[in-house]
Each structure stands twice: as structure tokens, then as C-alpha cells.
Amino acid sequence: MKRALWMAASPLVKITTYVVLILATIWVLIPFVWSLQNSIKTMADIFNPLAIIPFINYRPTLDSWIKVLGDPGAVNALYSSIILSAGATLLVILIGTPAAYSLAQFEFPIRTKHLNFWFFSQRVMPPVVLLVPFFILFVQFRLVDTWIGLILIYTTFNITFGIVILRDVFRDIGRDISDAAKVDGANTWQFFWFIALPLCLEGLTVTGIIVFSFCWNEALFASALAPQHAATLATFILASRGTQGVNFNIAAVNTLIAIMPPVLMSLFVHRYLAGGLSFGAVRG
């Protein structure tokens, strides 16, 4: 069907589509190319406008990579980012999945649209407004600069997003599947565990990747509430400024390291990602 529509499109539509796709690709690749080039340059070559092509206009060097990978602070920041993002994503999936399934399959005294509006409203308030109250809470409960504190923060901010997305995933499960399971003697828990979850695996995977990316890229609360021992990679990148200004080669290496995990995750689960974007299509 999609191929038929594309073949029937006018030449102007096809040319416009190709131009938009090419511009979008260039726009997305510019940060990657900039980071890759500057990560193998010296500071002198970075400020040299003629240093464009490696081995011709400048001599590549791995000094910046060696410096970053040999820095215990960078390794600790990478380790913290992995622990925090994975921990928060796991909590969001564990807590959000049953909640989303309940909203999709059951009726409540409060109308479902009111519950959905409440979940959406949690994403409206700017996070910076909650920075001071959370800091006071962290001081009271001694959670400043701890992994547990940041995991709770990230879970709080992302669980509403996970519930809203997963609710649509579970809502796409046909009533005929649920009725057939009940006829076969399956109770609510068995239907959820053995039927609903396998059918919605792609949606769960996509939700997990998106939540992981949100947690991985968060810098505001990480820099304010965990500046040292539990510092994340995003915080470490913000600290790339030295006494002589921004160390662009170091910042480029940190940027590439920060980009790699979400990109690699997307590549490994591409099969689930492509199907999960349809949000839980029913399978026969």
C-alpha cells in the first residue's frame, strides 16, 4: 500500500521528500561529525579553519581519548550513568506496566480520561520548579549525591510518560483475545503475564529505550543533587570547561561516549523498535 502511494506520487512530491530527508540527515549528522573530528584533533587544530580532512590538513591524535578514558572521574561518571539510567528504567517498567494495564483494561469510579489527564499534567510543570523542593527533601533524607536519590528522581519524572505510552499499547489488545482467554480458564493475572506482556513486548521495548534515553541525557538534577560521587556523564560533560575556556576536544570525546549507549541499544533492538512504534498491534 505504501509503495503504491509512493509510485503514484507526483515528481514534485518525491523531490520535496528527498530534499527534506537529505536536509534532516545532514542536520542529525553534524553533531556526530563535529564530535568525531574534534575528538582526534589537538587544540591548535580545532581553531584552525583549514584543518578539515585528516592526514591531509591535520594529523589525527588519540591523546584526548587516552586522557578521558584514563580519567577515573570519567569512568565513574559513565558507570553512574549506566546504573542510574538502567535502574530508573527498570523501576518505570515494573511500576508503570501494571498501572498502564489496569488503566487500559479496567473501569474505575474516576473516569479514565480524568486519570489520563492527571498523568499528562505531571509532564507539564517545568522540572526546574521542583529543584529546590527536591533538594530540601534530599538533605532531610540524606540522599544528596547518591544513586538511590537520582534513581527515585528519574523514576518520578518518567513513570507518567511510561504509563501513558504503555496504556495505549495494552489498549490495542482486542477484546476477543481477552474473552477467549477467559473461556479457556485464564484469570486476570495469567492473561496479563502470559498473553498481554508477550503481545506488547515491542511496545515495552520502545518505552524502555525512550525512558533510558531521557534518564541518560538528564543533567539539571544530576548536576545539582549529585555533583561528585554519583555524578553522571551529562554532568561530567558540563564540567569540560577549564580555566582557559572549553576544552572542545575533551568535550567531543565525552559527547561521543555519551551518544554511544542509546545508539547501540537502538541498533540491537531495531527489530522491536520498528514494530513497537505502532504501539501494540494485535497479532493473529
* Tens of pLDDT, residues 181-209: 777 777 878 888 888 888 888 888 888 88
Render pLDDT for 122-148 as a digit per residue (tens, 0 to 9).
667 777 888 888 899 999 999 999 999
Let me know: does 132 contact 123? Beta carbons within 8 Å. Answer: no
Q: Is the pLDDT of residue 111 over 70?
A: no
Render pLDDT for 48-104 as a digit per residue (tens, 0 to 9).
888 888 888 888 888 889 988 888 888 888 899 999 999 999 999 999 999 888 888
**Please, what's the b/e burial string for 193-225 (b: 16 or more CB within 10 A of its CB; e: otherwise)?**
eebbeebbebbbbbbbbbbbbbbbbbeebbbbb
CATH architecture entry for 71-276? Orthogonal Bundle (1.10)
pTM of structure: 0.80
Report how far residue 75's alpha carbon sits from residue 123's, in angstroms, rounded to the nearest whole number: 32
pLDDT value for 210 = 86
Q: Where are the domains of the chain?
A: 71-276
